[in-house]
Structure 1
Amino acid sequence: MARRFSAPYQTEPVSSLATWSRNLAIFAVVAVVGSILIVRFGFLEMKPALATFFGALALAVLSILVGLAAFAAIWQNGSRGMGRILLAFLINAILLAYPAYLALQYRKLPPIHDITTDPIDPPRFEALARLRSGEGANSAVYAGLYSAEQQRIAYPDIETVELEVPPQRAYEVTLALVTKRKWLVIDERPPQPPRRIGRIEAVARTPVMGFREDVSIRVTPDGEESRVDIRSSSRYFESDLGSNASRVTKLIEDINSAVDNAKPAAPKKPQAPAKAQAKNVKKGS
């Protein structure tokens, strides 16, 4: 018959499996943080850095399995270590939550990595093209009609931004927003006669891992008004898990808001003074 804490609890030995489960979870955290730093600061190439990251996730899964075995052992022999198991499970849950969310996004979203407001004539990567020539990097050339169709189905609201301001003003507003986001601006060319086309090329980073995603923005005249087209493309991986679409959508919203807020308020029409009512004068008989 199993002994369930029959002796005083403090005198029972600590389960070695529980200790291993906790230690594996802690080591997984260290490995994940290390892999993120490796990617963000470019200490290694992308493949070994990602191998480190996925190896850390594998350690977290192993920690859970060892923790389950430790729980079964404690249930059988009454040894200590439940606190270590719970700590390991908590660490692993936090560690695996975001990758699990990304896996769900991968199943739900189309496998595309290049998002643009103008699939017919997307803004080109010129200064950024040389940065996309490394091993495993995606091409600087637009992904093509298949990507455009997948984008249309998944993100139908991503369209060219039409502004009721001159190209120079649209360019200044857009550049200010890019700078505010702390994207690394690689090239900026304000609208110049005769074509008056402005261009901005910048590098954005994903929030957690810091993967580089390239952004090209084109400002073109439309009579006295202007049009802004945006392209955001992951430098690596076939699927961006929705990050580029989110970036483009948010930038579109901010451009429209910035231009609308800068418009002068329409002057109020002065109200006409109320007409005085004529007094009825009674004539004496």
Structure 2
Amino acid sequence: MRRLPFEEPVTRAGPLARTVAGLALFVSLFALVLVRDPRAEAGPALATLGAGLVLAVTAVGLATFAFVRVWREGARGLGAALAGLFVACLILAYPAFVGLRALRLPALTDISTDIDNPPAFSRSRTAFAARDGRYPPDPGPAARASQRAAYPQVAPLTLDLDADVAFELARKAAVNRRWQIVEAIRPGGRIGNGRIEAVSRGLLLNLADDVTVRVHPRADGARIDVRSASRLGSHDFGGNADRIRAYLDEVANLAIAVK
């Protein structure tokens, strides 16, 4: 009696997961190039990035299905499934981190060190042009109450230095943070406050956010307040608070070096 050759089962989901993950990587990298290009529109670029994330999630699903077949039937294709899962997880790692922050933090897009009297953004023609004709609206009482509960450590910086010196340190810190300074008005004049208007861009997506710094002269030195507002979306994922803390830490370190 002739014996039929035994054919080991093969799962097509494993190689397919690897292929889809590779496509997701290509689409995501292409989207990052688009997002970081100042000439490209942010909306279509972010939509392309979203497509890359959807492909990565699909690759995870295919890899999971392949693992089930390998476990139950001993099918081949485990290596391809693991490769697809690894690439997909690399793509999804940072979005997952951002998603966890979104669950933990309130949906805010405008953070200020002075909740009761936040620094006002400049209404000059130059500042409007730098903000693409946008003027960030003042958040309501509910948003400020949410900020107070979520970010109690976001507070003004008081320096026992002359206001002019404090202003120069604030300007230098903005340069060190690679902000695009739009306006820099020294303390003095009718109001007395100094002001720095700037545009800050994210490290990964290079999206623009608006920042204004107020330097208020005091009898014993100067007080520095900062306000940072996102241009896109309804949630900053803690980015504005992180920006303010990092900036004020930079100013404080510069002040220590001056003394």
Normalising by the smaller structure, the TM-score range is 0.7 to 0.9
- Would you say 1:219 and 2:215 are equivalent positions? yes
Aligned to 1:3: none
**How far does residue 123 in structure 1 lie from its aligned partner after superposition?**
1.7
CA contact (8 A) 1:129 1:140 kept: no
- Would you say 1:162 and 2:158 are equivalent positions? yes
What amino acid is aligned across from residue 101 of structure 2 in structure 1? Q
Q: Quick one: distance in 1 between partners of 2:175 and 2:38?
A: 23
What amino acid is aligned across from residue 116 of structure 1 in structure 2? S
CA RMSD of aligned residues (A): 2.4
Deviations 1:2-39, CA, capped at 9 Å, x for gaps: xxxx97xxx96965332211111011111111112211
Aligned to 2:144: 148
**How far does residue 133 in structure 1 lie from its aligned partner after superposition?**
5.4
Q: SS in structure 1 opposite 2:227?
A: strand
What amino acid is aligned across from residue 33 of structure 1 in structure 2? L
Aligned to 2:83: 87
Q: Pairwise mapping of residues 1-285 of structure 1 onto structure 2 (< 5 A)?
A: 15-74=11-70, 80-126=76-122, 127-132=126-131, 139-193=135-189, 195-223=191-219, 225-263=221-259
Q: Quick one: distance in 2 between partners of 1:14 and 1:203?
A: 54
Computing the radius of gyration from Cα coordinates, the structure with the larger value is: 1
Q: How many corresponding residue pairs? A: 252
Q: Quick one: distance in 2 between partners of 1:243 and 1:113?
A: 9
**How far does residue 125 in structure 1 lie from its aligned partner after superposition?**
1.8
Q: Quick one: distance in 1 between partners of 2:146 and 2:132?
A: 25
CA contact (8 A) 2:9 2:73 kept: no
**How far does residue 54 in structure 1 lie from its aligned partner after superposition?**
1.3
Normalising by structure 1, what TM-score?
0.80
Deviates most, 214-223 or 195-204: 195-204
Q: SS in structure 2 opposite 1:219?
A: strand
CA contact (8 A) 2:130 2:199 kept: no
Q: List alignment gaps of at least 5 residues for structure 1.
A: 1-5, 264-285
CA contact (8 A) 1:132 1:140 kept: no
